[in-house]
Amino acid sequence: MRRRIAVLLSIMVCSLAAGLLAPAMADSNSIDVNGTLADTRTTPAKPVPGVAISIEEGGAVIGKAVSGADGNFSITLPGAPIDLLGKTITVKLDKDTLPKGADLRDPKKTSYKVLIKTDANIRIGYAIGPAVDNSVPIFTQIGQSGINGIFLGLLLALAALGLSLVFGTTGLTNFAHGELITFGALAAFFFQDQLSWAFFPAAIAAVVLSGAFGLANDRLLWKPLRGKGTGLIAMMIVSIGLSIFLRNIYQYFFGADNHQYTGVQAGKLWNLGSIGISPKSFYIAIVCVVVLVAVSLAVQKTRLGKATRAVSDNPALAASSGIDVDRVITTIWIVGGALAGMSGIMWGLTNGFDYQVGNKILLLVFAAVTLGGLGTIWGTMVGSIIVGLLVEMSSIILPSELKYVTALVVLVLILLVRPQGLLGRAVRVG
């Protein structure tokens, strides 16, 4: 009875904290529509000033702006945020105001319809440059999507590895893992933005701090719950509450704007035949491979790695054979937090990030872990690569807004045939 009360209280505390922080999420009593116009024909992309942006609602223009010297624009929507919820606005770009010789990368995307669901600011992006050639040969599209899919899969593997290790040793399905990813991205940004550090020292410090954050998660929450014998279902529900709580904390301190790291150039695109490879994405992929191989070898060859596998297979038997199970789990939380933080930084380098970047990719991370086999390192890597390839390959046929759906549909179909995942072991339940 006491255990159930403790679990319920934990959930209530997380929910209450999220509710108290919700009114403070917005930085002001208004909703801003903002964005950046950049000319992708140059490296790095050059800001585009003097472009007119307008916002319509119900056929009437409710706001206008012109991009500044830095390419940024911002339009404050009229009325209180609560009055705007549920309304649909249309953000339009006036192509006639673009610089001579410039066009949108997607000429048809001059406007965006946005349904206002929260009081957070709205970020709109327009990429300016040569129009996209839709007559690209199919084999070129497949090759380009394949390269992009491998890069995406390696990023997902780095993000998913910590989740898989924690599940393997504790059985916890941690829905707050996305917030561990976000923590790393925001920590590196804090060191750059507030302390004016160069990117690489900021990134290293953020990874170390992410490991400490993983340790704090275990010591302050999960270890006490394990000590009280709390069930895995109850702990999973607590992790959902923790995820909401941390996400509100991040938004309160960092706002809802999209952020970018400074001091890391994309570099001139490498051409491999008709396929383009970004040097930055390539080097990020190399870092991911090195880290993944290092962690895999450590689990296979080191004494601590063998103890980790023993705890994953049978915690009670491992404890009876003299293995310090709590020490192994603590180490896994540190490593898992550091890996998650590193993945957030790498993702931010490639795509930019905001306070909920980890939550946005969490379903893909779960898909990768489940597809490969829960608790298996090699399965996580294989599942991540497959998910990355499916996501990018599907964009050849489907609109980009639907490409993530493909991976989840295939995940469901595979699990109907092989519930333990591709490299997982069948376990009898009951």
pLDDT at 43: 57
Name which of 90-94, 328-332, 355-359, 400-404 the model is least confident about: 400-404
Same fold, 32-129 and 138-417: no
We find that the CATH architecture of domain 138-417 is Orthogonal Bundle (1.10)
Q: What average pLDDT is seen over the chain?
A: 84
Domain boundaries, the chain: 32-129, 138-417
**What is the rounded average pLDDT of the residues 238-265?**
92
* Residue 140 pLDDT class (50, 70, 90 cuts): confident
Question: Is the pLDDT reported for residue 337 higher than 60?
Answer: yes
**What is the rounded average pLDDT of the residues 127-153?**
79
426 vs 194, residue with greater confidence: 194
E-assigned strand segments in 249-289: 270-272, 275-277
In whole angstroms, give the CA distance from residue 7 to residue 10: 5
**What is the rounded average pLDDT of the residues 368-378?**
83
Question: Is the pLDDT reported for residue 28 higher than 60?
Answer: no
| Residues contacting 354, CB < 8 A, separation 6+ | 123, 254, 256, 257, 258, 259
Query: Residues 387, 391, 395, CA angle at the centre, nearest 5°?
Result: 160
Share of the chain above pLDDT 90, in %: 46
What CATH number is given for 32-129 in this structure?
2.60.40.10
Q: Are 374 and 361 in contact (CB under 8 A)?
A: no
- DSSP for 98-128 reads SPTT-EESSTT-SEEEEE--SSS-EEEEEEE
* Residue 350 pLDDT class (50, 70, 90 cuts): confident
293 vs 274, residue with greater confidence: 293
pLDDT at 41: 66
The distance of Cα 70 from the centroid of its chain, to the nearest Å, equals: 27
pLDDT at 12: 38
pLDDT at 118: 81
281 vs 21, residue with greater confidence: 281
In whole angstroms, give the CA distance from residue 68 to residue 139: 40
Name which of 1-5, 84-88, 121-125, 206-210 the model is least confident about: 1-5
